Amino acid sequence: MSQMVGAPGAVRATGAEVVLAQLDDEQRAAASAVSGPVCILAGAGTGKTRTITHRIAYGVHTGAFVPEQVLAVTFTARAAGELRTRLGGLGVGGVQARTFHAAAMRQLRYFAPQVLGGPMPGLVENKLRLVASAASRARLTTDRTSLRDLAGEIEWAKTTLATPEDYPARARAAGREPPFEAPAVAQVYASYESAKQRDGVLDFEDLLLVTAFAIEEHAPVARQIRAQYRHFVVDEYQDVNPLQQRLLDAWLGGRADVCVVGDPNQTIYSFTGADPDYLLGFADRYPDAEVVKLERDYRSTPQVVALANKLIGQAPPRKGLPGLRLLGQRAEGPAPRFFEHPDEPTEAAAVAQACRALVEAGTPASEIAVLFRINAQSEVYENALSAAGVPYVLRGGERFFERPEVREAVLLLRGAAAGGSEPGALVPTVRDVLASTGWVEHRPPPGGAARDRWQSLAALVDLAVDLVAEDPTIDLPGFVTHLAARADAQHAPTVQGVTLASMHAAKGLEWDAVFVVGLVDGVLPIAQSLSRPEAVEEERRLLYVAVTRAREHLTLSWSLARNPGGRRSRPRSRFLTGLVPESAPTAAPAARRQKRAKVVLEGEAGELFERLRAWRSATAQAASVPAYVVLTDATLQAIAESRPGTLRELAALPGIGARKLELYGEDVLATVSA
Ligand code: ATP
Ligand code: MG
């Protein structure tokens, strides 16, 4: 504890005081409780992540923590990078800040010879392939969608610690909707497990399970791990799943030096097994826990905070959930804006123009984000931003240091470094080396993969420029060493550009301006969630996560049709009701309601067929392709006769492959149900 600060600590205590001075009273109470269990239960932007990083810094500065004995875990590589950056900013090095997976991987690699009797096994690169063969052994006929769903069920079972035998009963109790009968799924699961065992490989879930097992079953491993790590911190704890909790318990081994922080309103992974009850029940498990609630939102303007409060206030009350209303602390800002557009390209163009206007008015592009529900929505925004001349970066794509162009560049730089280098010439040298791959600095390609490649290499140059600014003596070998360390830590350099990210990938992050786009029912809430009220609520929380990323400017938009000329039949997201002010454009013209009534009345396959044809010809025209390229008459007929209500039902029809499903599925369903 802080009293332990002895004579040599007197100097360090000054650092500790500085660290605490940057917090408010409640945050300080949590940060200065450096021993024993601590739980921070608080809403978005209230400084949870700030409090844990300051708590670690305080513990280190007072001598209560040895940095190497602190393990901070979170859920995405990017969030772990954010923790490291913030700790670095507080002058704290040596603390492990990792994802659960990265931490488990590192430990298992070390202990593999001891517990597995050999080197670290290989990892399953592509689960779908193994699931596909397991499914065919079980004589199931699958397509891409049902395979993905099968893999999802296996992952859910494993993260909730259900064996194949447990699966049917557990799936039923949890209200899962597996793509096949539960016993068949269990059979695929069992067969998948034995195939993995036969090949001697582990999947991501095994990594955690085997690590937990190694600690639970091998006393020497447990001793070593527990001697190494003495203080645990978990950010975003609302999204912990039973498998991760089991690993955390194994690390702790009955000790209570654990600090968890989270926001139950930001639980967005319960579909994959996360359980906010670990967060909500923390104080019951640790009755002497220091429990801190934070309410002041330091991130967002009162306008953004009011919208977030309203949105989450419309959710039905959940048992055991404390009300977490946010109190905006920042100065007033612009009111959130809402826009309805006729189609997606128009929506994207408007967003791109707004981004451009912000950049021209002085907001750095890296302080702007466009957030969408599914990754497939990003392409139209990539095109629009390129057309508007606004640089952008995609988040949640391939890891930076694993991109082929980056690997190649790093190899070339390493080769060049071996030949020695002139001091003071780092940036031009890096440029020269990259130019040898055909990269031309002032000529970014207009879009697509080529642009991504160009941007990755530009980020390497920017990084060199930043490093030289910090340390003018850095040379090429120094740069190469730095890159290797970063690659180890999976910490991509920041690229100057508007961030395009899924709402899931945006968790924990913040920007000055945020555009939340594509807000139509069937996308948010996503179509697959509509049959289950809890799943719809998870979608609401996802929107809550998205809007609370904005510091100042928040824009929400949707478009009535997907393609230009398409039927303007998509209702805006149900979550916007009550948020959109009366004066804003609304999306439900009377004409549409009439049409809906008419179809219900007639209800004939022939009538639907004609409407599908009309939709098809508009879609084909917009894409400048012949109509049959969109869908054939036979497929339209099958749709008209069977009237599919879900993507899965649609996928079962002849002529609907994965690509057609992705391109037209939502539109076809909207046409059918209109
Ligand atoms: P989320 O739930 O979205 O992860 P969070 O609770 O982790 O949010 P932080 O990211 O830690 O919130 O903080 C939000 C913003 O507010 C950050 O920019 C942070 O630096 C700032 N902030 C937090 N607490 C304070 C404070 N006491 N004084 C000034 N700024 C603060
Ligand atoms: Mg946070």
The predicted model scores a pTM of 0.74
* CATH number of the domain bearing residue 660: 1.10.150.80
Give the Cα separation of 72 and 49 in Å (integer): 11
In a domain? residue 6? yes
Q: For residue 490, how many other CB atoms are within 10 A of its CB?
A: 18
In a domain? residue 204? no
Shared-domain flag, residues 474 and 539: no
For range 540-565, the mean pLDDT: 95
- Continuous H helices in 314-403: 344-360, 378-387
Among the listed residues 234, 237, 229, the one whose alpha carbon sits nearest the alpha carbon of residue 255: 229
Shared-domain flag, residues 134 and 175: yes
Residues lining ligand 1, Cβ inside 6 A = 23-24, 27, 42, 44-50, 263, 266, 298-299, 508, 510, 548
Q: Which range is most confident: 285-289, 323-327, 414-418, 630-634?
A: 285-289
Q: Angle at which helices 204-217 and 100-116 pack, to 10 degrees?
A: 60
- Is residue 596 scored above 50 in pLDDT? no
Shared-domain flag, residues 288 and 302: no
Closest C-alpha residue for ligand 1 atom 21: 298
Give the Cα separation of 41 and 261 in Å (integer): 6
Give me ligand 2 centre to Cα 509, in Å.
Answer: 7
Phi-psi region of 490 (alpha: psi -120 to 50; beta: other; left: phi over 0): left
Shared-domain flag, residues 6 and 100: yes
Residue 497 has a pLDDT of: 87
In a domain? residue 290? yes
* CATH number of the domain bearing residue 562: 3.40.50.300
Of ligand 1's atoms, which has the minimum distance to the CA of residue 549?
3
Dihedral of the alpha carbons of 665, 666, 668, 673, in degrees to the nearest 10: 140
Tokens at residue 6, please?
A: 């002895």
Q: What is the mean pLDDT of the chain?
A: 86
Among the listed residues 264, 352, 269, 359, the one whose alpha carbon sits nearest the alpha carbon of residue 315: 264
465-505 pLDDT tens trace: 878 877 788 889 889 888 887 776 556 566 678 999 999 98
Give the Cα separation of 273 and 64 in Å (integer): 35
Amino acid at 11: V
CB of 2 within 8 A of CB of 16?
yes
CB of 451 within 8 A of CB of 445?
yes
Shared-domain flag, residues 341 and 459: no
- Ligand closest to Cα of 297 equals 1
Shared-domain flag, residues 286 and 301: no
| Number of domains making up the chain | 5
Shared-domain flag, residues 290 and 300: no
Give me ligand 2 centre to Cα 236, in Å.
Answer: 7
- Is residue 599 scored above 80 in pLDDT? no
Q: How far from 609 is each of 306, 604, 624, 668, CA to CA, in Å?
A: 46, 9, 22, 11
Shared-domain flag, residues 182 and 271: no
Give the Cα separation of 33 and 31 in Å (integer): 6
Shared-domain flag, residues 285 and 343: no
Of ligand 1's atoms, which has the minimum distance to the CA of residue 50?
11
48-94 pLDDT tens trace: 999 999 999 999 999 999 999 999 999 887 788 888 888 888 888 88
Q: What is the CA radius of gyration of the chain?
A: 27
Give me ligand 2 centre to Cα 235, in Å.
Answer: 7
Closest C-alpha residue for ligand 1 atom 8: 45
Shared-domain flag, residues 392 and 405: no
pLDDT: is 312 or 446 the higher one?
312
Give the Cα separation of 141 and 154 in Å (integer): 17
Shared-domain flag, residues 101 and 11: yes
Give me ligand 1 centre to Cα 47, in Å.
Answer: 3
In a domain? residue 662? yes
In a domain? residue 129? yes
Shared-domain flag, residues 388 and 412: no
Ligand 1 pocket test, pick from 24, 26, 49 with the greatest ligand atom count within 8 Å of Cβ, gives: 49
In a domain? residue 112? no
176-201 pLDDT tens trace: 889 999 999 999 999 999 999 998 99
Give me ligand 1 centre to Cα 45, in Å.
Answer: 5
Angle at 608 between CA 603 and CA 613, to 5 degrees: 170
Residue 2 has a pLDDT of: 39
Domain limits for position 130? 122-199
Last residue of a domain, one of 475, 490, 505: 490
Classified as helix, coil or strand, 233 is: strand
% of the chain beyond a pLDDT of 70:
90
Residue 597 has a pLDDT of: 27
Q: Which range is most confident: 223-227, 580-584, 632-636?
A: 223-227
Of ligand 1's atoms, which has the minimum distance to the CA of residue 23?
27
In a domain? residue 110? no
